[in-house]
Amino acid sequence: MRLRNIPRAESVLSEHDKVVKDEKTYRGNWGQVFGNSNPIHIEIGMGKGQFLLKLAGRNPQINYIGIERYSSVLLRAVEKYEEEAEEEGALQNIRFVCMDAAEIGEVFSPGEVDRIYLNFSDPWPKKRHAKRRLTSKEFFARYEGVLAEDGRVEFKTDNGDLFRFSLEQVEEAGWKLTACTWDLHHDKEMNAGNVMTEYEEKFSAQGNPIHKLVASRKD
């Protein structure tokens, strides 16, 4: 994601009612934030938000939390929320958090999250940065600390090296691969109901196949 510092980002986000500040104080109490006990699905590295906003519109019975590290990027998602919430007059089931996903265990309690989406995560191509990849075994251990027992991680990318690495890490982390395709858009079963992200639209338009895996904790 190309980053440009947007000076007003911090102040807009700090005043927006759907951006959760002091996120660590809600650990174990996210139901309170939404005012219900619906399942919680999160996207880590939500970028400009197209994917999560569309899911939130489709599934009002699910609570969605979009996590993004950079305020200038999250600002775009919040602006998109403003446009779409106005159009649909709804979207009460989404919140945004500006944070580094490495801290996820301080923000959610064990079992509090039902699903984690990772879409076109940064590849961190240098081997010495492998631990920073959101599909490294170190991150799977963090996900294990917050996911419900029957929860799952869904990951999409067009990056073959990152996808191969991620498949290995699922195994090394002791997780179970429950579904996998190297060409999502030509896989009728796995593509059913697929919601495209900004990156997915861009890279599939360039002819790149999209890879997807679904992983769950081993019981």
- Which parts of this chain interact with ligand SAM (CB under 6 A)? 1, 44-47, 67-70, 73, 100-102, 119-122, 197-200
Asked whether 35 and 63 are in contact (CB, 8 A), the reply is no
Stated length of the chain = 219
Asked whether 216 and 151 are in contact (CB, 8 A), the reply is yes
CB of 12 to ligand SAM, least distance (A): 17
Nearer to ligand SAM, 21 or 176 (CB): 21
Residue 122 is among the residues annotated as catalytic for this protein: yes
Nearer to ligand SAM, 51 or 218 (CB): 51
Q: Which residue has the tokens 């090296």?
A: 161
Nearer to ligand SAM, 47 or 151 (CB): 47
Asked whether 118 and 155 are in contact (CB, 8 A), the reply is yes
Tokens read off for 206:
């360039």
Q: Output DSSP code: residue 149.
A: E
Pick the catalytic residue from 17, 122, 158, 161: 122
Q: Tell me the residue number closest to ligand SAM, measured at CB.
A: 45
CB of 52 to ligand SAM, least distance (A): 9
Which residues fall within 8 angstroms of residue 102, CB to CB, at 6 or more apart?
A: 139, 142
Nearer to ligand SAM, 141 or 176 (CB): 141
CB of 43 to ligand SAM, least distance (A): 7
CB of 37 to ligand SAM, least distance (A): 26
Distance between CA atoms of 134 and 111, rounded to whole angstroms?
19
Q: Which residue has the tokens 């360039």?
A: 206
End-to-end CA distance of the chain: 36
Residues noted as catalytic: 122
